[in-house]
Amino acid sequence: MSDTHPILEVLDLHVHFKMLAGMVRAVDGVSFAIERGRCLGIVGESGCGKSVTARSILRLLPSSQTSGQILYRSDTDNQPVDLVSLDPKGNAIRAIRGRDIAMIFQEPMTSLTPVYTIGEQILESIRQHQTLSEDEAYELAVSMLNKVGIPDAERRFGDYPHQMSGGMRQRVMIAIALSCQPRILIADEPTTALDVTIQAQILRLIRSLQRDLDMSVIMITHDLAVIAQLADFVVVMYLGQMAEQAPVVELFQNPKHPYTQALLRSIVRPDTPSREQLHSISGSVPDPRNAPSGCRFRNRCPSAHDRCVQDPPVVTFGPRHTATCWLYVDEETGTETAVFRS
């Protein structure tokens, strides 16, 4: 199936917010595609625009100025729908939201409403998109809770969110997201608030459901270990721009962008000599309102150069491996020095 059109294509996405202090370019020229049944990882630090990108796909940011294209193909033969052209409050996007594309949010503590039982919250999503009798909807809801591993699901159906632990609430979120069998699941830092043993359980659950339901997953995280374990293809973002994208093994073994290289070097691995100085990136992520011109990483980059004040080019290194950096362009001739030729 992967030789056909990707299920979702983001083309030159820009999301800007007008604020009192000026224009915040939260996402600035991001393009990527996600294949059917695969997991795309978007990785970056706070303020890199990964969550804004995810929310733009579902048009959850009506006050933003969004341009570019987000092409969604529900089935291979269908004509693509450009989600950017839809009215963010209209019926067309509401039919896609939750049914075709569902999302799990970072905070299982705040993304469930405290005043309804978890059962009612699952039923709401089912009733919104499917015409089922009351009994059928109930049965589906309970079976979803079972599927995500909530023990004693029928009894927990009437529980309020405060009666459940963080891991259980995240499972409820996943059950709600999956109740309409979405084609794409967007998971925004789904395990950041959870403990290691629970994180392992939730990631295993997402992976097995992805296989069972032949679903595409967009995994958004700051944690490279989550990416390494789950993603097939990775987009690395920094301050609203795309630094690099590549298949996961290629990215970990052959990173090209200085930011990706530095990130990978700074993780503590099992074989890192203990108590030695770790590799680190100098400075910290600047405020997006004062992002540097040209390459936004240039004031922290160890290989920064005069040219970096201009917008860097996208250089191709292999099948689907690109990095946005001046480093690989010959200074005099202006030709790419490390270009992949097929």
Partner 1 sequence: MSDTPILQVEHLSKYFPVQRGLFRKTVAHVKAVDDVTFTVHKGECLGLVGESGCGKTTLARCLLRLVEPDKGRIVLHGEQQALDIVSASRKEMLDVRRQMQIIFQDPFSSLDPRWRVTDVVAEPLIAQRIGRAEAARRVLELLPTVGLGAHFADRFPHELSGGERQRVSIARALIVSPPLVVADEPVSALDVSVRSQIINLLLDLQSQMNLTYIFIAHDLSIVKHISHRIAVMYLGQLVELGTTRQVFEQYRHPYTKALLASALIPDPTRRDEGYVLEGEVPSPINPPSGCHFSTRCPFAQERCSAEEPALRDMGDGHWVRCHFAEELDLSEEIFAPVAALG
Q: Which residues bind partner 1 (CB under 8 A)?
A: 45-46, 165-168, 195-201, 203-204, 207-209, 211-212, 222-229, 231, 248-249, 251-252, 262-263, 266-270, 272, 274-275, 277-282, 284-285, 300
Nearer to partner 1 (CB atom), residue 223 or residue 311: 223
Which single residue is written with the structure tokens 């056909």?
A: 4
Nearer to partner 1 (CB atom), residue 141 or residue 230: 230
Determine how many CB atoms are found less than 10 A away from the CB of residue 172: 25
Give per-residue burial for 19-55: e unless 16+ CB within 10 Å, then b: eeeeebbbbbbbbbbbbbbbbbbbbbeebbbbbbbbb
Question: What does the block give as tokens for 8?
Answer: 């979702």
CB of 340 to partner 1, least distance (A): 20
Nearer to partner 1 (CB atom), residue 68 or residue 149: 149
Q: What is the distance between the alpha carbons of residues 186 and 191, in angstroms, rounded to a whole number?
A: 13
The candidate with the shortest Cα–Cα distance to 327, out of 300, 299, 307, is: 307
Q: What is the distance between the alpha carbons of residues 317 and 112, in angstroms, rounded to a whole number?
A: 43
CB of 208 to partner 1, least distance (A): 3
The candidate with the shortest Cα–Cα distance to 63, out of 71, 54, 52, is: 52
Nearer to partner 1 (CB atom), residue 84 or residue 236: 236
Nearer to partner 1 (CB atom), residue 131 or residue 274: 274
Query: What are the angstrom distances between the C-alpha of 234 and each of 10, 42, 144, 199, 224?
Result: 14, 6, 29, 20, 10
CB of 282 to partner 1, least distance (A): 8
CB of 149 to partner 1, least distance (A): 9
Angle at Cα 38 formed by Cα 296 and Cα 218, nearest 5°?
45
Nearer to partner 1 (CB atom), residue 71 or residue 150: 150
Nearer to partner 1 (CB atom), residue 5 or residue 207: 207
CB of 146 to partner 1, least distance (A): 15
DSSP state of 322: E
CB of 48 to partner 1, least distance (A): 9
Q: What is the DSSP string of 14-60?
A: EEEEEETTEEEEEEEEEEEEE-TT-EEEEE--TTSSHHHHHHHHTT-
Q: What is the DSSP string of 177-209?
A: HHTT--SEEEEESTTTTS-HHHHHHHHHHHHHH
Asked if 203 and 149 touch (Cβ cutoff 8 Å), the reply is: no
Q: Give residue 79's identity as a one-letter amino acid code.
A: Q
Nearer to partner 1 (CB atom), residue 135 or residue 196: 196
CB of 171 to partner 1, least distance (A): 10
CB of 211 to partner 1, least distance (A): 6
Asked if 298 and 326 touch (Cβ cutoff 8 Å), the reply is: no
CB of 31 to partner 1, least distance (A): 23
Nearer to partner 1 (CB atom), residue 151 or residue 334: 151
Question: What does the block give as tokens for 298?
Answer: 């240039």
